Amino acid sequence: MSWEQLLHDLESGKVRSAEKVDGVWQANTAVKEGILAAFKAGVLKAEGGFVDKHNLFPQEFTVERGVRLVPGGSSVRRGSYVAKGVVIMPPAYINVGAYVDEGTMVDSHALVGSCAQIGKRVHLSAGVQIGGVLEPVGMRPVVIEDDVFVGAGSIIVEGILVRTRAVIAPGVILSKAVEVYDVVNQRVIPRGEGIPAGAVVVPGTRAFSSENDFIKSKGLMLQCPIIIKYRDEKTDTSLVLEDALR
């Protein structure tokens, strides 16, 4: 498949840069290699005061697409999929290879990085950063499953998987290097397992496991995400989004 056809198929949702295979999310290496080929084939072009590869300039939207792209500096790069019913508040950015499913809200100053996968009815609050990854091609991108709420200023990177209906509180940082502590089930979530379905994650701290006298004398702590509870009726009520906003 040519890179031209690949970009078209990505925008139509026909192909994705990551897929669920036998219940496990995996990177689609052929798609990621095709995106890299598009970058290699592109030449710099100036348009409207901006400079980018000629084949990766932002998409244009029509009413027929059913996407609400509010004026104010947002951009959806070519080769990304944005489904009907998505709302994009300014300024926001959705990069090549990303997939944003139906009914999702991408709020102000939010980033959906290259190849990131965002499910249905997700709320990415103001200032949320969803990391992207093109290389290595075999690395799974960040995946946010259906009905997840991500609070303002949260950062999710390095291929983290957030499972359905999880709630990420404002200011949480999720990466492979940071362990997640589940105080409900009294366990440490193994790296690579992802955030469990329905988990409510808040920012926390933990002590250094170090004999360093400086660390001890200063009482230094490390940040860590904590699963404080699992989603219940009270949580659902607090996260209700008005249909009128969409």
End-to-end CA distance of the chain: 36
* Token pair recorded at residue 175: 């990466």
pLDDT at 242 (0 to 100): 57
Short-list 183, 182, 173, 188, CA closest to 222: 173
pLDDT at 216 (0 to 100): 86
pLDDT at 177 (0 to 100): 87
How many helices (H) and strands (E) in the chain?
A: 4, 25
186-198 in b/e form (b: 16+ CB < 10 A) is eeebeeeebbbbb
pLDDT at 245 (0 to 100): 63
For each of the chain's 246 residues, which pLDDT tens digit applies?
A: 799 999 999 999 999 999 999 999 999 999 999 999 999 999 999 998 999 999 999 999 999 999 999 999 999 999 999 999 999 999 999 999 999 999 999 999 999 999 999 999 999 999 999 999 998 899 999 999 999 999 999 999 999 999 999 999 999 999 998 899 999 999 999 877 899 999 999 999 998 878 888 988 888 999 999 999 999 887 777 777 656 566
This prediction has a pTM of 0.94
Which helix (H) or strand (E) covers residue 8, if one does? helix 3-12
CATH of domain 3-170: 2.160.10.10
> How much of the chain is in helix, strand and coil states, percent to nearest 5?
15, 30, 50
